[in-house]
Amino acid sequence: MELWYWEEHTKGVRLGLKCTRTLYSGQSKFQKIDVLETLDYGRLLLLDGLVMLTSRDEFIYHEMMVHPACFVHRGAETALVIGGGDGGTVRELLRHDNLKRIVLCEIDPDVVEVSKRFFPEVASGLLEENSRVELLFQDGAGFVEENPGRFDLILIDSTDPVGPGEILFSEGFYSSCFRALRPGGVLAAQTESPFHHLDLMKGVKERLTASGFGLVRFYTAPVPTYPGGYWSWVFASKQGGQAEGRRLHPLRDVKIGPSDEMVLKGLRYYTPDIHHAAFRLPRFVLEALKR
C-alpha cells in the first residue's frame, strides 16, 4: 500500500508527496507534530498537518528569511527570532559575525527537540551551546511587548496565521515589534503565498504601516513545497540609527563586498543578484498591494 501525504491549499488544489515511512508522530501542548520520510524531498516536518519544511528545499526559505535583512543592516548586533523552532533561521544568522546576540523565542519546546533529532542539518545552531544564541520557550508576542528598544533585527519565522501563529500577523504585535527595535532597526517576516494570500499580504502592509514602519517592501522566492510553490516575505525598517534619520532601504542600502565571500560561499540560493531580483515584484502582486 502506498503512503501519500496530502496538504489542501485551496478547495481545488492539493500538494501530494509520496512517503516511505513515518519517523515521528506526537502531540505537544500546542500542536500535532509529524516527521515523514518522502521519496523526493527527504524528511518532511508537519505542524498540525501543514508543511513547515522539507530537507530538500528548506535552504531557500531560511536563506531568504535572513540574508536580505542582514546584508542591509550591516551594523546589527542583536537579533530576535520569533518562532523558527526548527533552527534554520538561527543557523543562517550565525553566518554573520557582526551579530553578537541571537535570541530564539519559540513557544513550543517540542518543535525544537524534534528538529534537533530529525533535522540536525537545520537545527545545527541549537545542537550545542553557543554564547551568541539564547533560547527562550515563551510566547513571542508577550516577549516583544516586554522588551522595548532591545533589538536591531526582528525576524518573524512564524507558522501560518492560524492557531498559535495567528497573533503574529496582528497590528498590536507589529506595534510591539516596532517598539522592540532600536532606531534604524529592521523587521523581516514570512507573508505566505502571492498566489493564494494576496489579501493577507495587503493586510500585513497596512498593519505594519499603521504600526509606525515608514518603509515596507515585499520580496519573493520559489519554495516548491509551500502553497503555490512561490513564497513571500516582508522587509520593514524603522527610522534612525546608522541611517542618520533615514529608513534602511532593501535595495539602496544593501552592502555586499569581497569580505562577504566566505558567507556567500556557504549559501545555496541567496546571491547579490538574487537579492535585487527578489524585490522586483510581478505586476499582479504590485497591483494587488496598491489597491
DSSP string for the chain: --EEEEEEEETTEEEEEEEEEEEEEEE-SS-EEEEEEESSS-EEEEETTEEEEETTTHHHHHHHHHHHHHTT-TT--EEEEEE-TTSHHHHHHTT-TT--EEEEE-S-HHHHHHHHHH-TTTSHHHHS--TTEEEE-S-HHHHHHT-TT-EEEEEEE---SSGGGGGGGSHHHHHHHHHHEEEEEEEEEE---TTT-HHHHHHHHHHHHHTT-SEEEEEEEE-TTSGGGEEEEEEEE-S-GGGTTSPP-TTTS----GGGHHHHHT-SS--HHHHHHHTS--HHHHHHHH-
- Is 108 one of the catalytic residues? no
Q: Do domains 3-54 and 58-290 have the same CATH topology?
A: no
Q: What is the model's pTM?
A: 0.95
Class of domain 3-54: mainly beta
Q: What is the pLDDT of residues 162-209, one digit of tens each?
A: 666 677 888 899 999 999 999 999 999 999 999 999 999 999 999 999
Q: Where are the domains of the chain?
A: 3-54, 58-290
Kindly name the residue from 40, 157, 160, 199 that is annotated as catalytic.
157
pLDDT, position 21: 96
Q: What is the pLDDT of residues 28-68, one digit of tens each?
A: 999 999 999 999 999 999 999 999 999 999 999 999 999 99
Domain 58-290, CATH number (from 3.30.390.50, 3.40.190.10, 3.40.50.150, 3.30.70.2860): 3.40.50.150
